[in-house]
A and B are shown apart, each in its own frame.
Chain A
Amino acid sequence: MSDASVMIVGIGNPDRGDDAVGRLVARRLRAMVGPGVAVVEHDGEAASLLDRLAGARTAFLIDACVSGAPPGTARRIDLGTDAGILPDLQFGLSTHGFGLAEAIALGRALGSLPPRAIVYAIEAGSFETGGGLTRAVADAVGTVAKQVAEEVMQDA
């Protein structure tokens, strides 16, 4: 539960290579947005993530993804208008079984997503345990952070 009406959530496992990118974007954003914006890092577990989002009016969710695009490719998905873009995922279709896709699907089914939710999905190159970011993904951190910061300003 949060009192902040605008929330930025960086999602990922900090110790699995490019999976950390969402968290790193969030860390970058801490210094870029005002005190009224909640910036949190999260492991992405669906139930806990939904709970974290409760009360937010606008949520920016930043996570690593895999789609076959070149690593570092960033996509913006407005869950309000691009509803058909995310495939209708079931639990278990991602390797973790209970990640962001499930949180979104579950939140939709329960009507508990924030009224406005924007996903930034950054294509990962490697999920190597203990590995750092691949170069193209590291390059995307600043770009995505800047884009989110601009959106937050417009939203305010």
Chain B
Amino acid sequence: MARKTRTIKVDYLARVEGEGAFKVVVRDGAVQSAELSIFEPPRFFEAFMRGRAFSEAPDITARICGICPVAYQMSSVHAMEDALGITVGGPLRELRRLLYCGEWIESHVLHVYMLHAPDFLGYAGAIDMARDHGEIVKKGLALKKAGNDIVNLVGGREIHPINVRVGGFYRIPGKRELADLGETLKSVRDIAVDTVKLVAGFDFPDRSRDYTFVALRHPDEYPFNEGRVVSNRGLDIRVADYDRHFEEVHVARSTALQSRLHGGSYLVGPLARYSLNFDRLAPAAREAARDAGLGTTCTNPFQSIIVRSVEVLHAIDEALRIIETFEQPDRPSVDVVPRAGIGHAATEAPRGLLYHRYRLEEDGSIAEARIVPPTSQNQPSIEEDLRDYVGGWLDLDDEALQHRCEQTVRNYDPCISCSTHFLKLERIEETSG
């Protein structure tokens, strides 16, 4: 009998942040291989941060990603403060959480409405979807804008915020500005509630795996900036012990290193955060999740769109709580004195755990920097999803199977940063005059 080989190959993945490709090979009805190729720039950042001042880290690392710059700023300032022996608490800590709420809203809403929803509603992309569902898309844009407004006010501008520093902020928003922001958030809160209902009604492939979930866990809070690194397999460690349990390995097909926990794959991001921290969600977010049919854990990655929507509602309620209870601090930042040291931090980027480690010289210059972004950590898990799930879809024709594979990758909202942009044109008349 002739051997039959079927290859599903996508050289350019649409609706992910940046550039990626994947290839799945099926032979005689069995998946032979599933490979995801991505490019992540942080390795270069690690190299060129050496010799720079500790104080430059938040502004430099914010440049790693246009979608989640706050996460990079937060992990870097916390790691620096760890190295320098500083604790930032009270209103400054609250303001950092508020800023993080903004980024989650921006990033999650973009993915839910523009990148992921078209998969479920049967459109090639958000533009096609907008033609038939204009009101839905407009609501999504309004919700996303509320996130932009938070980052704009607290971070100083919408993309690559500039107001964050080691020790706190450069400028604290005024009472009036925060009150106005609160009104904006209240005005879109119903959209966040409706978003959970909307996406809960989508048709989800019945797929799940026994994932090793990894996320931060904090005694009182749904995690943004702080907590222990925990898993559903009993891991419960200080962030400073991250390197004793996790390792990065190089694979030839990708410039991004892949992370392993005790030699195996694991999953970070909304599913992991939710499943390990359901009890820390805002009450309305918990209720919305239950109404959407989710349990206290979620192991179907296609339902990550519901979890993201629940986290958006949580972020709005958390932002409102912070604004309503905020007390203006005496100073925008605490004093920082350089010293030699090693600092670690992990925070929860929208896509999952983001680990930073720095070694500083006595003058505060950076001797070593290490950054482990969430998409690197999820890369093995994405490939395992493809390997596991494709076998059940082999009755689909190539086009439908390819779409399912793309959707399987998009479940992760992979962030493959890309900092230039241009408009592609095919045929344009020369300008006259």
Task: State the A residues within 8 Å of B (CB).
Answer: 12-13, 15-17, 19, 43-45, 47-48, 50-51, 63-67, 69, 73-77, 82, 85-87, 89-102, 105-106, 109-112, 121, 124, 127, 129, 147
Distance A75 CA – B18 CA, assembled complex (angstroms): 27
Q: Which residue of B lies closest to A101 (CB)?
A: B423
The interface residues of chain B lying within 8 Å CB-to-CB of A43 are 66, 159, 421
Let me know if B110 is at the binding interface, CB within 8 A. Answer: yes
B127 & A106 in contact (Cβ 8 Å cutoff): yes
Interface residues of B in 1-31 (CB under 8 A from A): 12-19
Identify the 7 closest CB pairs spanning chains A and B, nearest first: A92-B14, A96-B421, A109-B130, A67-B425, A16-B420, A65-B423, A127-B420
CB neighbours of B137 from chain A (8 A): 106, 109-110
User: When the two chains form their complex, are residues A91 and B125 in contact, meaning their CB atoms are under 8 A apart?
Assistant: yes
- Do B419 and A110 touch (CB < 8 A)? no
Given known A45-B159, A91-B114, A109-B134, contact A77–B421 (CB-CB < 8 A): no
Q: How far is the CA of A102 from the CA of B429 in the complex (A)?
A: 21
Contact A64 B422, beta carbon cutoff 8 Å: yes
Contact of A85 with B12 at beta-carbon distance under 8 Å, contacts A91-B127, A106-B127, A129-B419 already known: no
With CB as the reference atom, state the residue of chain B lying closest to A150: B433
A95 touches B115 (CB 8 A): no
Within residues 139 to 157 of chain B, which ones have a CB less than 8 A from any CB in chain A?
A: 141, 144-145, 148
* CB-nearest residue of chain A to B118: A91
The interface of chain B, by Cβ under 8 A from chain A, is 12-19, 66, 110, 114-115, 124-128, 130-131, 134, 137-138, 141, 144-145, 148, 158-159, 418-431, 433
CB–CB A66/B431 < 8 A: no
Pairwise interchain contact B423-A109, C-beta atoms closer than 8 A: no
Q: How many A-B residue pairs have CB under 8 A?
A: 143
Residue pair B425, A97 in contact (C-beta under 8 Å): no
Is A90 a contact of B424 with CB atoms below 8 Å?
A: no
Task: Give the distance to chain B from A87, nearest Cβ to Cβ, in Å.
Answer: 5
Name the one of A66, A73, A111 contacting B424, with C-beta atoms under 8 angstroms.
A66
Q: A65 contacts which chain B residues (CB < 8 A)?
A: 422-425
User: Are A45 and B66 also in contact (CB < 8 A) when A16-B419, A91-B115 are?
Assistant: yes
Q: Which residue of the partner chain, among B15, B66, B138, B433, contacts A110 with CB atoms under 8 Å?
A: B138
On whether A87 and B425 interact (CB within 8 A), knowing A16-B420, A43-B66, A51-B145, the answer reads yes
Closest CB of chain A to B412's CB: distance in Å? 16
A57 to B158 CA separation, bound complex (whole angstroms) = 24
Contact call B423/A90, Cβ cutoff below 8 A:
no
Complex: how many Å from CA A155 to CA B302? 50
Q: In the complex where A43-B66, A90-B125 touch, is A13 in contact with B14 (Cβ < 8 A)?
A: no
Residues of B within 8 A of A91 (CB): 14-15, 114-115, 125-127
Among B17, B130, B425, the residue within 8 A (CB) of A86 is B425
The CA of A75 and the CA of B433, in the complex, are separated in Å by 11
Interface centre among A44, A63, A92, A100 (most CB of B within 10 A): A92
Most buried by A among B115, B420, B423, B429: B423
